[in-house]
Structure 1
Amino acid sequence: MSAPVLLHLLRHGAPELTGTLLGRIDSAVTAQGLADCVGRAVGLDVATVVSSDLIRARACAETIARDHGLGVTVDPRWRELDFGAWDGHAPATIDPAALSAFWDDPDANPPPEGERWSSLAARVGSACRDITVPTLVVTHAGAMRAALATLCGFSQAQTWSIDLPYAALLSLRVWREPSLAAQIVGLSA
C-alpha cells in the first residue's frame, strides 16, 4: 500500500457579500477573511496550492501560496454548488417549501436552474483523484462537504451536519489504494 497524501481543505474567508446563497456569484473576500485564512495556513507543509476559480477563494490561495513560495493552480472543479436562480438571494426571500426540500435532499430537489448534489460530488471527486502530493485546496463549504462524501463515504446529510465556518481548515490523510479513502486528521474552525 502506498503512503497517504495530506490534503488540506480551507474554506475561503468571509466574503464582502453575506446573508445570501453564494454559489457561482462571486464576491471579494474581506481583509479580515483573508487574514483569517492566512493564519490558518501558517505551518502547513504543502507542495502545491489549488484554488476554486472564484475570487473569494482565489485571493486567499494566492496570498497563502506567495507566503509559502508556491504558485496557485486554479481549478473550477472546486467551485461552490451552483444555486441557480437562488444564487445571490437571501434564504428568507426563497419559497420556504422549496428551500426546505432542497436542504432535505439537494439531489432530488436542486435549486431552479441549479446544480444537483451528485454533480457537485462528481466534480469534486474528480479533483480529489488528481491530488498526489501534500496539497492545500482553498475552496467552499459545499465542495469541502462533497470531498468528505467522496473520500470518507459520508452521506450528504452527514456532511451537512459538519459546521464549516469561513476559514475552516479540514485536514485529511488520503490513501490511493486499494480505493480512494481518507481519514480525517484535523478540523480547525
Structure 2
Amino acid sequence: MRLILARHPKPVVEAGVCYGRLDLDCDVREVDAALACLMPYASGAVVYTSPARRCRDLALRLDPAARIEPRLQELDFGAWEGVRWDAIAQSDFNAWANGLPYTTPPGGEALAAMAARLSDWLADVSRDYAAAEREASDESGGRPAPAVLAITHAGPIRVLRALAEGMPLLTHFAQPVPYGEAIALDMAKLGL
C-alpha cells in the first residue's frame, strides 16, 4: 500500500498561537497552492481527511467523495488552544514536554492517546486496502489497488511516520512538516 500523508495549507492564525483542534480557515491562495502540489497524488487515490476545516476544505476539492476521519485530527491542546505559546506558563509547558508522550496539556490529549487512535486508523486502512487489492487483483489480473491519501496535520503525520517505520513516537517530533506538501510511504517496504 502506498500511503501519502499531506499537511493542510497554512491556516489563517496569528504566528505563535497554539492550535490543534482549533478549527481554522485557510487563505484561498494557500489552498490553491496545495491543490496544485497534491493533485497528482489524489488521482485515483482513496482520500481521507481530518474533519478540521483546514483539511476538509482541501480534501473535498481534491475528491468530493473524500472520507472524513475523526482519528486524523491534530492533538487536542485543551486549555492551550488559541493561546499564544509565550503566554503559557513555562513550568506548565516544561511539565508537558518533559512527560511526552504520556502527559497532557490541561484538559487536552496525550501524544500516546493520539498515537493509539492513529494506529487504529492505520490498521483499518491497511485491512481495507488489502481486501481492495485482493478484489482488484481478482478482477483485473493484477492491477494494484489505489493509493491512500490522508489530508491531516503535522502531529499525526509525525506519529504515522513513526508507527509505519516501527520507531519511537518522538522520532519525527522535531522535524518540520511543510504546509500543503506530501510525504509518501511505501507500506509494503516497511513490512505493513
What is the rounded CA distance, in whole Å, between the counterparts of 1:126 and 1:46 in structure 2? 24
Q: Which has the higher contact order (CA 8 A, sep 6+)?
A: 2
- Runs of 4+ with >4 A deviation: none
Deviates more, 1:139-148 or 1:74-83: 139-148
User: More helix by proportion, 1 or 2?
Assistant: 2
Q: Is the 8 A contact 2:38 2:181 kept in 1?
A: no
2:156 is matched with which residue: 116, 134, 143?
Answer: 143
Query: Which protein has the larger Cα radius of gyration, Structure 1 or Structure 2?
Result: 2
- TM-score normalized with structure 1 length: 0.83
> Following TM superposition, by how much is the alpha carbon of 1:146 offset from its aligned partner in structure 2, in angstroms?
1.4
Which residue identity lines up with residue 86 of structure 1 in the other structure?
A: W
Distance 1:29 1:181, change over 3 A: farther
Q: CA RMSD in A?
A: 1.9
> What is the alpha-carbon distance in structure 2 between the residues aligned to residue 34 and residue 41 of structure 1?
10
C-alpha distance in 1 between matches for 2:20 and 2:106:
13
Unaligned runs of 5+ in 2: 130-145
Does residue 1:16 correspond to 2:12, yes or no? yes
Equivalent of 1:163, from 160, 173, 176? 176
Distance 1:144 1:58 in 2: 16
| Number of equivalent positions | 171
Question: 67, 75, 94: which one pairs with 1:100?
Answer: 94
C-alpha deviation, 1:65, in angstroms: 1.4
Determine if contact 1:46/1:135 at 8 Å carries over to the other structure.
Answer: no
2:56/2:68 contact within 8 Å kept: yes
Q: Mind listing any 5+ residue stretches in structure 1 that lack a counterpart?
A: 183-189
Equivalent position to 1:128, from 122, 126, 137: 122
Residue of 152, 177, 180 corresponding to 2:165: 152
